[in-house]
Amino acid sequence: MSSKKILIVTNGFFPEISPRSFRATELAKELVRKGHEVTVCTHFREGLEAFAVQHNFRLIDLGKLTWPRPVVKGSGVEFLVRRIIARFSALLFEYPTIQLIPLIKKALKNEKGYDALISVAVPYPIHWGVSKIWSKKNPIAKTWIADCGDPYMGQENDTFKPPFYFGYLEKKFCRKADFITVPTQNSIPGYYPEFHDKIKVIPQGFRFEDVALYNGPLNKEKIIFGYAGMFIPGRRDPSEFLTYLNSLDESFKFEFHIYTTTPQFVAPFVEGSKGRIVMQPIVPREKLLYELSKMHFVVNFENVGHKQTPSKLIDYLIIDKPVLSVTFGNLQPEIFQEFLNADYKHKMLLPEKDNYRIENVASQFIALIP
């Protein structure tokens, strides 16, 4: 296949630790390995320029998000007011990531001649910004692929639905994009039906050979299990499960290690756990996978509905550990007891590993480019 000139526009990229950063970073690296000319438009971060030289792709500075984020601190009424301001400024105005729209317009104003532009969301203002500058007179690339993680208007796991007016922005970018890529077949109902013919399913990709896993003996004195990911109250909610863990007699020897960017939903349970619930710092993905591979099993907290699939399941697939699936409001202590006894007959079924090899994922993107 002939070499393609490809532009990736993304908010998240190396060295940021997030699912969308992993998506864009792994894709850029693999496209270069396949012989394509890759340019990445993203925020400049420490170490990024050296990383770009190492992996042989060009950079465009997206610029900084300078609008201040609402600060949630204090206590009592002050804390509540600040939390409400932060929550509703994001919900009603997509603040502060809405600033990506003018940043993208400025960064891409002189760009043209690409075979493909791949925009990576979340956040969705990435797609809205490309849509703002994309036109028949200035298409930037022959093909626009809008890559989506979770749905926006059709999402199921936020407490509030997005306001109706953001639907206009979603429909605008969906009309202009040649393809909309989503991680699973179940994601498709989260998008407006009139655009379903543009949707292609391309899962998250990872280079398995880059992962070093622990292959020594497991802890024999206690059962070690873990979770890596964010929490959503009332949905991907750990409270019921953590309350149950804290109710167990001390004769149950276990440790539950949690890596999360939302520690506030775990902190109230740590002190009463008698050392059995352990909060861990956020670490790079490679180190996280190594630490998880030392454990007896891992935990998945289920989303509401089927349109959003946690990207952590790919990490769990790579480390090849049994997965205990926990649904808020439907606690099943007997299954947890089975896992403590190394009985995994009720483990979560995961898809075929080869589906997530970055070589296959990158090839699926290339197949969309004429």
Structure tokens at 278: 């352990």
* Residue 277 β-bridge partners: 256
Residue 110's nearest CA partner among 158, 166, 45, 39 is 39
Confidence (pLDDT) at 307: 43
Confidence (pLDDT) at 351: 80
Confidence (pLDDT) at 161: 81
* Ranges of the chain with pLDDT below 50: 305-308
Q: Are 45 and 13 in contact (CB under 8 A)?
A: yes
Q: Does domain 5-64+96-203+357-366 have CATH number 3.40.50.2000?
A: yes
Confidence (pLDDT) at 328: 87
CA atoms within 13 A on the CB side of 36: 24
Q: Where in the chain is the domain with CATH 3.40.50.2000?
A: 5-64+96-203+357-366, 209-350
Neighbours of 193 (CB within 10 A): 8
Strands 297-301 and 277-280: unpaired
Alpha helices, DSSP H only, in 134-257?
A: 166-176, 239-247
Residues in the chain, total? 370
Strands (E), the chain: 5-10, 37-42, 58-61, 114-121, 141-148, 179-182, 199-201, 223-228, 254-259, 277-280, 297-301, 323-326
Q: How far apart are CA 131 and CA 47, in angstroms?
A: 30
Confidence (pLDDT) at 180: 97
Residue 321's nearest CA partner among 239, 257, 233, 242 is 257
Residue 324's nearest CA partner among 338, 311, 309 is 338
Q: Domain 209-350 carries which CATH code?
A: 3.40.50.2000
Q: Are 157 and 304 in contact (CB under 8 A)?
A: yes
Confidence (pLDDT) at 2: 86
Whole-Å CA distances, 219 to 276, 293, 296:
14, 12, 8
Confidence (pLDDT) at 231: 87
